[in-house]
Each structure stands twice: as structure tokens, then as C-alpha cells.
Chain A
Amino acid sequence: EDQVTQSPEALRLQEGESSSLNCSYTVSGLRGLFWYRQDPGKGPEFLFTLYSAGEEKEKERLKATLTKKESFLHITAPKPEDSATYLCAVQPQGGSEKLVFGKGMKLTVNP
């Protein structure tokens, strides 16, 4: 069964305090791994797609990396506006566009 586990479930940081979020996955064959950001009361917003181990993507203070078993979302010098829930999802092989999501990780950045 395809499965995605995110840790920690919640994280509080001080502004400027860098950290990493973990997404470990079990999938029969990985077509792609996705990171989304979700603000309260809104739909998830796409951040990154990673396809193969060793791949990295960056956007402002965020950097996503991928290995064969997990992905990390590194947050460098976060700001309060980075506070949100971050979702990880995998797309299994098989020709379908279906995504399997983790439960999410709520990040709070205090000024």
C-alpha cells in the first residue's frame, strides 16, 4: 500500500531559525513527489515536484530534496509569512494522475 508519513506533525520556529521537514514514503514505484503549502481556510498551493533521487528544487527560502525513501523541505531563515501547513504527496507509477497525501506538518514562525 502506498503511504506517506510527515514529521514532525507541528513545528514552532523563531524567525531566522532554519529547520527541515521530513516526508518519508512507501510506494511501489515513484512517478513524482510533490510539496504543497496550505494556508488556513484555503486550498493547497503547489510548491515543488521532484522526480528522481538526488534532485533538488528551490524557491525563495524553501529547498526540497529527494532520496529513494524520503524528501526534505529545508526552510532557511524563515519569516512569519512562512507559517502554514506543508503537505507532501506521492504519485505512484501506473499511468494515473492520483496523488497520495501525507497528513501535513503545521509550521509556525514566531517574530
Chain B
Amino acid sequence: NAGVTQTPKFQVLKTGQSMTLQCAQDMNHEYMSWYRQDPGMGLRLIHYSVGAGITDQGEVPNGYNVSRSTTEDFPLRLLSAAPSQTSVYFCASSYSTWVSGNGYTFGSGTRLTVV
């Protein structure tokens, strides 16, 4: 098992550009989510999905879109990048924290810089 795979690991964008951060998991997890991590802010939830075809907004969804066409993949789209979106982005998945008690499995992150 590869776990949660995020690509790319690093990215530099110009203001106004769009891009997609990829996230894939091979554990058949139903729940997937995107967090951003900023210094002094902790992890903040952007969007999440409880299964294929179902997505919902988290704490900081503005400027981001998601879709979940398969169980395995949960891409995050930046529509028009802004310097405020400079951050480290983590994708996480879980089968069910209540049933398994194992919490989330996180990817290794994408470090995004918007100039």
C-alpha cells in the first residue's frame, strides 16, 4: 500500500494562475479531506468528502474547488491563485475514525508558493 499520495511536492504559481493539487489513496477509505497548514495557525479544513460524489465545505473553502468522482481520488483546484494561498497543503483519508480508531492517514504535503 502506498497510503496517501500527493503531487506535486512543491509548486510556485503566479497570482491569477490556476492549478490542481492531486491526492490519491489506495486504502479504500471513504472519507477524504484537504487541510492547509500555516505558521501559528494549525491545520485548517478546506473541503472534505464522505464518499464518491459527495463533497462539503470546511472552515476555509473560499478560492478552492473539489470533486470526488472515484473513491481513490480527491483533487483540490485553485481557481485563481492569490498570495494568501501560500501554504502547505495536506490531504488526509480515513475509513472511519469511529470504527477503526486509527485517525487520519496524511499525505506528505504540497508546499505551494504564490508570487
Assembled-state Cα–Cα distance A101/B58 (Å): 13
The smallest beta-carbon distance between B13 and chain A, in angstroms, is 20
Q: Which of B14-22, B60-68, B73-81, B93-101 contacts A (4 or more CB under 8 A)?
A: B93-101
Is A72 part of the binding interface, using a Cβ–Cβ cutoff of 8 Å? no
State the CA gap A74–B99 with chains docked (Å). Answer: 26
How many chain A residues sit at the interface, stated as a range, is 20 to 34
Q: Which residues of A contact B31 (CB under 8 A)?
A: 97
Question: What are the residues of chain A within 8 A of B94 when measuring CB–CB?
Answer: 97
Are A43's CB and B107's CB within 8 A?
A: yes
Q: Is B42 an interface residue (CB 8 A)?
A: yes
Contact check, A101 vs B106: say whether CB atoms are below 8 A apart. Answer: no
Flag whether B102 is at the interface (Cβ < 8 A).
Answer: yes
Closest B residue by C-beta to A51: B101
Q: Are B98's CB and A32's CB within 8 A? A: yes
Point out which of A32, A43, A45 has the most chain B C-beta atoms below 10 A from its C-beta. A43
Q: A49-B103, A102-B42 are in contact. List 13 more A-B contacts (CB 8 A).
A: A4-B42, A31-B97, A34-B103, A34-B104, A36-B106, A43-B4, A46-B104, A91-B97, A97-B50, A98-B48, A99-B45, A101-B42, A104-B42
- List residues of A whose CB falls within 8 A of some B CB: 4, 31-32, 34, 36, 41-46, 49, 51, 87, 89, 91, 96-99, 101-104
